[in-house]
């Protein structure tokens, strides 16, 4: 063991733990989606996987030990994989347009309302999922449906 | 006294020109009151937009926060699996290293508290 402290962030190679998961834990493939598609799909994940997500978070509230909620966690991941696969099949191009827009616009929703509306329409028609933002003041249009917002991209 | 030729100084035929006594004030733009009113109107509209923008900014922030909240279980589940894998690997390593020490309990917390606490050390490269 070295006695001098080396900042892991400045290490020449990343620290890797090569040991796989113990074999008694069922395997689940990771989602592997990057941040932009995740952000684009976030509200649909919240809608589609609501029960699994809430179950998992309640389990985490019981105990923070990573070993405690592995089963619930697998369900959450499987549900998200299921949803992303469905989105790719049903709304592939629209989904791609939206997350590419997010990627190019600093991940700001308000810069990408046009592709977002197309995606929301497609998701509602094909999968029956809606984007709802909890806590929107009663009687107000949700921010993603405002016709003439103050904040827009310079080039619409 | 001979008859001296002299001329009585008289106004020019047709009379003098009219004396220009009126002030020459060309139109110099809208009046102060109009400018003041215009500035007030522009400022009022601007503050109205600022107010609308503040409300909208709050909603945009809520949208962003909820998009992240919706992703928390997914990312946490993935992170937990990785943390569990590393924990188990570290436990195996500890067992192998300390197998000759009698009475050593691998992975035992130094605190007499069953509550889970995350690792106290980091890997030094």
Is the Cβ pair B77, A146 closer than 8 Å? no
Task: Pull the structure tokens for residue A55.
Answer: 């179950």
Residue A8 predicted with pLDDT over 80: no
ipTM of the complex: 0.86
Contacts of B81 in chain A (CB under 8 A): 21, 25, 28, 30, 66, 70, 73
Confidence of residue B122 (pLDDT cuts 50, 70, 90): low
Taken as a whole, chain A contains a residue count of 156
CB A102 within 8 A of CB A41: no
Measured in angstroms, the CA of B44 and the nearest CA of chain A are apart by 16
Task: Please report which confidence band the pLDDT of residue B26 belongs to, taking 50, 70 and 90 as the band edges.
Answer: confident
Burial of B59 (0-12, 13-18, 19+ CB in 10 A): buried
Nearest CA in chain A to B85: A21
A-B interface: how many C-beta pairs under 8 angstroms? 130
Q: What is the pLDDT of residues A73-126, one digit of tens each?
A: 999 999 999 999 999 999 999 999 999 999 999 999 999 999 999 999 999 999
Residue B123 has pLDDT above 70, yes or no: no
Per-residue confidence band for A2, with pLDDT thresholds at 50, 70 and 90? low
Chain B residue with CA closest to A142: the answer is B59
Nearest to A100 by CA among A85, A114, A86: A114
Q: Nearest C-alpha of chain A: how many angstroms from B97?
A: 14
Residue pair A150/B55 in contact by the 8 Å Cβ criterion: no
B5 pLDDT above the threshold of 90: no
Is A156 a residue whose pLDDT tops 60? no
What is the rounded distance in angstroms from the CA atom of residue A59 to the CA atom of residue A122? 33
Q: How many CB atoms are located within 10 Å of the residue B99 CB?
A: 10
Residues 6+ apart with CB under 8 A from A142: A131, A132, A133, A136, B59
- pLDDT tens profile A119-155: 999 999 999 999 999 999 999 999 999 999 999 887 6
The yes-or-no verdict on residue B125 having pLDDT over 70 is no
A70:B83 CB<8 A: no
pLDDT tens-place string over residues B55-92: 999 999 999 999 999 999 999 999 999 999 988 998 99
Q: Which residues of chain B have a CB within 8 Å of the CB of A30? A: 78, 81
- Residue A77 is nearest to which of B72, B78, B122, comparing CB atoms? B78
Min Cα distance A34 → chain B (Å) is 11
């Amino acid at each position: 063991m070295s006695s001098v402290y080396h900042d892991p962030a400045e290490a020449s190679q990343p620290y890797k733990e090569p040991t796989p998961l113990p074999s008694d834990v069922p395997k689940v493939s990771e989602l592997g989606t990057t941040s932009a598609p995740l952000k684009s799909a976030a509200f649909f994940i919240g809608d589609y996987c609501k029960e699994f997500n809430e179950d998992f978070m309640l389990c985490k509230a019981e105990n923070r030990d990573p070993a405690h909620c592995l089963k619930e966690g697998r369900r959450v991941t499987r549900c998200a994989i299921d949803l992303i696969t469905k989105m790719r099949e049903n709304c592939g191009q629209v989904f791609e347009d939206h997350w590419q827009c997010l990627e190019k616009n600093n991940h700001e929703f308000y810069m990408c309302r046009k592709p977002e509306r197309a995606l929301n329409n497609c998701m509602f028609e094909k999968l029956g999922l809606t984007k709802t933002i909890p806590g929107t003041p009663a009687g107000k249009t949700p921010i993603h449906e405002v016709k003439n917002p103050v904040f827009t991209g310079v080039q619409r | 006294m001979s008859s001296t030729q002299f001329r009585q100084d008289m106004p020019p035929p047709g009379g003098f020109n009219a004396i220009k006594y009126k002030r020459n004030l060309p139109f110099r733009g809208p009046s102060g009151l109009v400018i003041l009113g215009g500035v007030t109107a522009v400022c009022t509209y601007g503050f109205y937009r600022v107010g609308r923008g503040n409300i909208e900014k709050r909603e945009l922030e809520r949208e962003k926060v909820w998009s992240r909240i919706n992703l928390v279980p997914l990312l946490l589940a993935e992170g937990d699996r990785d943390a569990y894998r590393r924990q188990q690997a570290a436990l195996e390593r500890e067992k192998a290293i300390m197998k000759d020490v009698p009475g050593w309990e691998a992975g035992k917390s130094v605190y007499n508290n069953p509550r889970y606490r995350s690792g106290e050390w980091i890997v030094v490269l």
